[in-house]
Amino acid sequence: MTATLTQGSIVRCSRCDDLQKPFLGKVLNHLAHHVIVQIINFDPIDRYMVSVLGGQVTLATEQVRPLHMIKINGKKDQTSRG
């Protein structure tokens, strides 16, 4: 799993010691067994702690899972009417 954790990856983070709920983050730095994550989406119950932490947290690599983005094209046929 460490091969897919690169700088800039969007990850889902399980609950850490500082926050009560899981959250989404962006990998800022990948160390040997830890990842520094910028918190980008979190539960409102954790808003105070996110502010105290400065929007960043260090987690073990086992606590994060990379998200896979897919592109969905809503318009299948682009024809002009007229």
Amino acid type, 10: I
Strand partners, 19: none
Domains located in the chain, CATH noted = 2-66 (2.30.30)
pLDDT at 7: 92
Q: What is the largest CA-CA distance in the chain?
A: 60
What distance, in Å, lies between the first and last C-alpha atoms of the chain?
52
H/E stretch holding 82: none
| Per-residue pLDDT tens digits for 53-71 | 999 999 999 999 999 878 8
* pTM strictly above 0.85: no
